[in-house]
Amino acid sequence: TAETGSRRPVTVAVTGGAGQICYSLLFRIASGALLGPDVPVRLRVLEITPALGAAEGVAMELDDCAFPLLQSVDISDDAATAFDGASVAMLVGSRPRTKGMERGDLLEANGAIFTGQGRALAQSAADDLRVLVVGNPANTNCLIAMNNAAGVPAERFSAMTRLDHNRAVAQLAKKAGAPVADVERVAIWGNHSATQYPDLTHAVVGGRPALEVVDQPWVESDFIPTVQKRGAAIIEARGSSSAASAANAAIDHVRTWLTGTPEGGWTSMAVRSDGSYGVPEGLVSSFPVTTRDGSYEIVQGLDVDDFSRSRIDASVAELAEERDAVAGMGLLG
Ligand code: NAD
Ligand code: LMR
């Protein structure tokens, strides 16, 4: 139609298409929530062979929505085929931890997936590729994919801490009795894990410093642990991990990356460290970032007090351990 045919279609590749996050995510992408209301979308979905039938079922439902922007849905169990021509790749599928599996086993199982997907992205994705890793352990899976995608600039890779960021915004707004839209400059540092550091030091609520609106004991004994453990709390309450909110954060992450952060504000993304704030270069760590037209910059010059320093260092130490483990398995190319 005239209103939807005005722009060139964009190819979006998504992995884990039969899973619970994708059951929300794919429909949001197809509706225009990711790329905007005038950009036609070609979806390419990667699943493992046993889940292809279930992924076909999701594709049938996508058909049944008659989304005006959705031009095609292609499903494959071959990564290079699924990533063909992709400008955006959202790597959601990963190997969940199952009974008896140690953390090292999980890193190794996912390492096999993300080495292969990194190579396949380098082989067949579009030149303007942007990658978001959602599947856990997201930072280290991203590190592996990035290191195996020869020729793709490291700046095109990111892992998701936007859900943590959104959780932090929501908790602060609720405590302050303010609308979420009044909250700015919350930051997530480090790993998408219980060691992450949700930082209110620079946050503002309705133009006032957040730390004048809420008290430090609440920050330390309520806010920080609530955000750090929110993923586990959702699993406990729902019986399975966050799905709609994770899909929403994935949409937010990519949309903000492509369109930009508001003037004076920032978001949180896990990206390759350039050594900023003493985070060892090469680790994929969450930082406050500004974005514009598909590029990002780590916010520079923030004061980091002793409390923040120790929290950042603890999460970064965990990232370094994960990196050393996967490097020891030969997964970093
Ligand atoms: P799920 O188990 O419902 O779905 C995962 C899907 O991925 C399954 O259908 C599975 O077949 C598929 N898959 C497995 N290996 C694959 C591969 N090699 N290629 C393609 N597909 C593959 O899980 P979910 O609830 O959708 O969550 C997906 C991941 O996202 C999990 O690792 C979860 O821990 C993670 N997660 C991350 C965040 C975050 O904030 N970063 C938040 C929520 C969930
Ligand atoms: C979340 O933050 O909700 C998830 O990463 C939790 C999980 O372990 O899947």
Mean pLDDT of the chain: 96
User: What is the set of domains in the chain, with CATH numbers?
Assistant: 10-159 (3.40.50.720), 162-323 (3.90.110.10)
The residue type at 138: A
Regarding beta strands 204-205 and 183-184, do their DSSP bridges make them parallel or antiparallel, or are they unpaired? antiparallel
C-alpha to C-alpha distance for 299 and 11, rounded to whole angstroms: 30
Copy the structure tokens of residue 319: 């990232």
What order do you get walking across the sheet with 183-184 strand by strand? 183-184, 204-205, 208-209
pLDDT band at 5; cut points 50, 70, 90: low
165, 192, 202, 253: which is the annotated catalytic residue?
192
Residue 104: predicted pLDDT: 85
Angle (nearest 5°) at CA 110 between 26 and 244: 30
- Identify the pLDDT of residue 101: 83
Please state the rounded mean pLDDT for residues 81-101: 92
- Give all strands of the β-sheet with 41-46 in edge-to-edge order: 70-76, 41-46, 10-15, 88-91, 130-133, 157-159, 267-272, 284-292, 295-298
Using one digit for the tens of pLDDT, what is the confidence trace for 171-180?
A: 999 999 999 9
- Cβ-contact 90, 132 below 8 angstroms: yes
Name the closest-CA residue to atom 5, ligand 2.
231
Please give the pLDDT value at position 100: 81
Helix boundaries (H) for 196-290? 210-213, 216-218, 224-228, 230-238, 244-259
pLDDT in tens, 158-206: 999 999 999 999 999 999 999 999 999 999 999 999 999 999 999 999 9
Q: Which atom of ligand 2 is nearest to the CA of 232?
A: 6
Q: Report how far ligand 2's centroid is from the alpha carbon of 148 (Å).
A: 25
Indicate the burial class of 155 (C-beta count within 10 angstroms; 0-12, 13-18, 19 or more). Answer: middle
pLDDT of residue 217: 97
Q: At 305, is the pLDDT very low, low, confident or very high (cuts 50, 70, 90)?
A: very high
125-134 confidence digits (pLDDT tens): 999 999 999 9
> 208-216 contacts: CB < 8 A, separation 24 or more?
210/172, 210/176, 210/183, 210/186, 213/176, 213/178, 214/172, 214/175, 214/176
Give, using CA atoms, the residue closest to atom 9 of ligand 2.
241
Confidence of residue 103 (pLDDT cuts 50, 70, 90): confident
Question: What letter does residue 51 receive in the DSSP assignment?
Answer: G
Phi-psi region of 233 (alpha: psi -120 to 50; beta: other; left: phi over 0): alpha
Question: Among 164, 234, 240, which residue has the most ligand 2 atoms within 8 Å of its CB, making it the best to mutate?
Answer: 234
Report pLDDT for 291. 98
**Could you confirm whether 192 is annotated as catalytic?**
yes
- Residues 35-84 have pLDDT tens digits of 999 999 999 999 999 999 999 999 999 999 999 999 999 999 999 999 99
Could you tell me the pTM of the whole model? 0.97
Closest-CA residue, ligand 2 atom 6, reads 231
